[in-house]
């Protein structure tokens, strides 16, 4: 008679996880999970935590989520993070938390280099990727308006997306808002930290008033480096993707750029932008969020900008009235003194 060996059974014939070979569990179960699910599973038990922290799992998750990370330079940098790709995912996947920056502007050391890993998706399929390395140590960069352009003004990137317009223009813009998404990861290679400053989903889509090109805006609102009531109480890190094309033909990406603006719509210079970005990276606070959270924050920011503009206009009108009154009183007093002398 042949004998067979069976796995130990517990509670009605259920095989415990400990009975599975670790390699089988990793390749057939853990490898199928996305990042948030794998991170949640790691909190269940010490055994699952040990199985879920293997770097190859997080390497595959990061590479599939952000194709730009396959760049050799980025792979070398991520390997130096405290827990490799798991640390990078922890930094880059959640939204930055909107909290006042706890950063001493006068004593903080600004990064001499930043790396941007950018991925643009249409219906969750990658259509454009770029890795941009930026030298931030020059005096020219620190004093100039902060702006990062991924494409040369004369170049454009073709996409498999069909460009529509005409009678379908309104529906087409709405379609882009719902189906175009962006990841813009800022990496500080010196501190071995990163943050995703994109709102993921578009916060606004409109046509340029002059060229007619479609401008898709992504934006993350964060706390600024000045106190309440100042123009930099809140700062928007905005990314604009400009698309063009002929109706019925391919959609081309003409421009992908990032700027930093305060509550008065003024662009920040390189040094001030570095302070904000460094504060967000060092903040350490991250949080999950719904897909439309970025748009809600953006609309609130726009409302605050509008209120601030109206308040400044009221102050200017009052100041103008005071100046006019003083001028009239001075004029009348002067001629009164002349005439009735």
Q: Which of 262, 284, 273 is nearest to 91 (CA)?
A: 284
Please report which confidence band the pLDDT of residue 16 belongs to, taking 50, 70 and 90 as the band edges: low
Helix %, strand %, coil % for the chain, to 5?
Answer: 40, 25, 35
Evaluate if residue 35 carries a pLDDT over 70.
yes
DSSP-assigned letter for residue 204: E
Please report which confidence band the pLDDT of residue 17 belongs to, taking 50, 70 and 90 as the band edges: low
pLDDT digits (tens, 9 = 90+) for 292-303: 777 888 888 888
**Where is average pLDDT lowest: 11-25, 200-214, 246-260?**
11-25
From CA 259, how far away is CA 279, in angstroms rounded?
16
CB 330 within 8 A of CB 337: no
Residue 289's contacts (CB-CB under 8 Å, 6 or more residues apart) are 94, 95
Predicted pLDDT at 2? 45
User: Looking at per-residue confidence, does 249 or 102 come out higher?
Assistant: 249
Partners of 261 in the beta sheet? 236, 267
From CA 25, how far away is CA 51, in angstroms rounded?
8
Residue 50 parent element (H or E): helix 46-52
Please report which confidence band the pLDDT of residue 5 belongs to, taking 50, 70 and 90 as the band edges: very low
Backbone angles phi, psi at 147, to 5 degrees: -155, 130
Residue 141's contacts (CB-CB under 8 Å, 6 or more residues apart) are 134, 135, 270
Q: What is the pTM of this model?
A: 0.85
Residues of the chain with pLDDT > 70, as a percent, come to 86
User: Looking at per-residue confidence, does 312 or 283 come out higher?
Assistant: 312
CB 298 within 8 A of CB 205: no
Residue 80's contacts (CB-CB under 8 Å, 6 or more residues apart) are 189, 192
Backbone angles phi, psi at 90, to 5 degrees: -60, -35
pLDDT digits (tens, 9 = 90+) for 71-91: 999 999 999 999 999 999 999
Calculate mean pLDDT across residues 18-46. Answer: 81
Most confident of 178-182, 247-251, 311-315: 178-182
Most confident of 196-210, 298-312, 326-340: 196-210
pLDDT digits (tens, 9 = 90+) for 219-229: 888 877 666 77
CB 162 within 8 A of CB 45: no
pLDDT digits (tens, 9 = 90+) for 106-142: 567 888 999 999 999 999 999 999 999 999 999 999 9
Calculate mean pLDDT across residues 273-301. Answer: 76
Residue 54's contacts (CB-CB under 8 Å, 6 or more residues apart) are 26
Predicted pLDDT at 100? 53
Predicted pLDDT at 255? 93
Evaluate if residue 3 carries a pLDDT over 60.
no
What beta strand segments (E) does the chain contain? 95-96, 113-122, 125-135, 147-149, 157-162, 180-188, 193-196, 204-207, 214-223, 234-244, 250-261, 286-287
When the pLDDT of each residue in the chain is averaged and rounded to a whole number, the result is 84
CB 278 within 8 A of CB 199: no
β-pairing, 250-261 vs 157-162, is antiparallel
**Where is average pLDDT lowest: 95-109, 179-193, 200-214?**
95-109
From CA 71, how far away is CA 281, in angstroms rounded?
21
CB 262 within 8 A of CB 304: no
38 to 47, 85, 137, 274: CA distances (angstroms): 13, 13, 38, 33
Write out the two tokens for 51. Answer: 């199985």
Residue 158's contacts (CB-CB under 8 Å, 6 or more residues apart) are 250, 252, 253
What beta strand segments (E) does 26-136 contain? 95-96, 113-122, 125-135
From CA 47, how far away is CA 29, in angstroms rounded?
14
Calculate mean pLDDT across residues 149-164. Answer: 87
Predicted pLDDT at 65? 93
Please report which confidence band the pLDDT of residue 7 belongs to, taking 50, 70 and 90 as the band edges: very low
């Amino acid at each position: 008679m042949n004998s067979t060996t069976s796995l130990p059974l517990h509670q009605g014939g259920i095989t415990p996880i400990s009975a599975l070979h670790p390699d089988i569990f990793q390749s057939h179960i853990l490898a199928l999970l996305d990042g948030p699910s794998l991170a949640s599973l790691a909190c269940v038990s010490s055994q699952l935590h040990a199985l879920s922290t293997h770097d190859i799992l997080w390497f595959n998750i990061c590479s599939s989520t952000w194709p730009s990370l396959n760049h050799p330079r980025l792979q070398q940098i991520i390997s130096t993070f405290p827990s490799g790709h798991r640390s990078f995912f922890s930094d880059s996947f959640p939204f930055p938390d909107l909290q006042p920056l706890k950063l001493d502007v006068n004593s903080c050391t600004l990064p001499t280099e930043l790396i941007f890993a950018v991925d643009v998706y249409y219906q969750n399929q990658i259509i454009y990727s770029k890795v941009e390395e930026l030298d931030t140590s020059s005096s020219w960069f620190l004093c100039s308006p902060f702006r990062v352009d991924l494409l040369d003004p004369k170049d454009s990137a073709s996409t498999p997306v069909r460009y529509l317009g005409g009678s379908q223009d309104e529906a087409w813009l709405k379609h882009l808002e719902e189906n175009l998404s962006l990841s813009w990861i800022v990496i500080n290679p010196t501190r071995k930290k990163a943050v995703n400053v994109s709102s993921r989903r578009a916060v606004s889509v409109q046509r340029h008033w002059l060229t007619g090109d479609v401008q898709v805006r992504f934006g993350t609102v964060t706390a600024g480096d000045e106190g309440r009531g100042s123009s930099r109480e809140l700062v928007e890190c905005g990314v604009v993707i400009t698309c063009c094309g002929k109706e019925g033909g391919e959609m081309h990406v003409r421009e992908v750029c990032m700027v930093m603006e305060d509550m008065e719509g003024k662009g920040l210079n390189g040094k001030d932008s570095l302070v904000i970005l460094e504060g967000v990276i060092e903040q350490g606070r991250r949080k999950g969020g719904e897909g439309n959270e970025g748009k809600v924050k953006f609309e609130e920011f726009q409302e605050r900008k509008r209120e601030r503009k109206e308040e400044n206009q009221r102050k200017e009108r009052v100041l103008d009235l005071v100046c006019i009154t003083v001028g009239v009183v001075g004029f009348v007093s002067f001629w009164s003194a002349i005439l009735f002398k």
